[in-house]
């Protein structure tokens, strides 16, 4: 449901931030739900930003919305005017694709569960400007196991259709393992080897890839890190 701009102007509970968001929603013909899927911010958070005068948004939320709409944080907060024309790079971002962020358990059900997950309001999404298929998905690094290459909070976007090459990162499911893990691939002629990303982990030793017992689920194609968290 789109916010009504006239209602936003007349409602005393609407802050300058809420008014600007409502204006941007109308300008780009977007709903709260679409913005939620495109930014990863919950519907509840977005509605509160639009209507609650006591809402104290985080800087991360401000920068996420600013990047999504192609405006500056001061413009989004109503501190600076923005032009009447289609704003910033957002108008040219129609080619951006929303990619679902999955848990490792959900990865095991992908892509059979794609339709269900895309309809689930609890599923978060990230945007990619890559030309990708609907098979692509993302996971989020949650601890130090992928450091120093990928810090906690980094979103990793994987493509199941891409064949891994030497030194690529993959989601690897080892023999008898219940969940996949991120590993780096090394090629020696026709033979493939994998090792943990963090060199301090015990699994950092290079081990042969067994094409019968092991499985490479998908190959990393992009990573995204928010330094404002």
> DSSP string spanning 217-229?
EEEEEEEE--TT-
86-112 burial, b for 16+ CB within 10 Å, e for fewer? Answer: ebbebeebeebbbbbbbebebbeebee
Strands (E), the chain: 97-101, 124-128, 137-140, 155-159, 169-173, 181-188, 191-196, 207-208, 215-224
Kindly list the strands in the beta sheet with 207-208, ordered across the sheet, starting from the edge strand earlier in the chain: 124-128, 97-101, 137-140, 155-159, 215-224, 169-173, 181-188, 191-196, 207-208
Please report how the helices 16-27 and 43-51 are oriented relative to each other, as an axis angle in degrees rounded to 10. 120
pLDDT tens digit sequence for 14-60: 468 888 888 888 777 678 888 888 888 998 999 988 888 778 889 98
Q: How far apart are CA 30 and CA 22, in angstroms?
A: 10
Q: Which residue has the tokens 């590993």?
A: 183
Q: Give the Cα-Cα-Cα angle 65, 69, 72 (nearest 5 degrees).
A: 75
What structural domains and CATH numbers belong to the chain?
Answer: 5-92 (1.10.260.40), 97-224 (2.10.109.10)
* pLDDT > 70 fraction of the chain, expressed in percent and rounded: 83
pLDDT tens digit sequence for 55-77: 888 998 999 998 888 888 888 88
Q: How far apart are CA 28 and CA 23, in angstroms?
A: 9
**Residue, of 7 and 223, whose pLDDT is higher:** 223
The length of the chain is 229
- Paired strand residues for 186: 193
Instruction: For the full predicted model, state whether its pTM sits above 0.85.
Output: no
Q: How far apart are CA 4 and CA 32, in angstroms?
A: 12
């Amino acid at each position: 449901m789109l916010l009504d701009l006239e209602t936003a102007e007349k409602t005393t509970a609407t802050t300058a931030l809420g008014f600007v968001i409502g204006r941007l929603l109308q300008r780009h013909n977007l709903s709260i739900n679409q913005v939620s899927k495109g930014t990863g911010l919950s519907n509840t958070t977005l509605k509160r930003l639009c209507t609650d005068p006591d809402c104290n948004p985080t800087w991360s939320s401000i920068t996420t919305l600013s990047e999504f709409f192609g405006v500056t944080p001061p413009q989004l907060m109503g501190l600076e005017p923005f032009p009447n024309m289609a704003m910033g790079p957002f108008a040219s971002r129609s080619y951006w694709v929303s990619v679902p962020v999955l848990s490792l358990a959900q990865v095991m059900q992908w892509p059979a569960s794609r339709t269900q997950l895309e309809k689930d309001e609890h599923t978060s999404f990230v945007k990619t400007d890559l030309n990708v298929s609907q098979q692509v998905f993302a996971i989020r690094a949650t601890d130090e196991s992928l450091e120093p290459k990928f810090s906690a909070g980094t979103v990793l976007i994987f493509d199941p259709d891409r064949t891994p090459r030497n030194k690529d990162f993959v989601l690897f499911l080892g023999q008898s393992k219940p969940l996949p893990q991120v590993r780096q691939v090394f090629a020696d002629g026709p033979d493939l080897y994998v090792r943990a990303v963090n060199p301090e982990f015990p699994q950092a030793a290079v081990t042969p890839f067994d094409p019968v017992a092991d499985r490479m689920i998908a190959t990393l194609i992009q990573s995204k890190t928010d330094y404002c968290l």
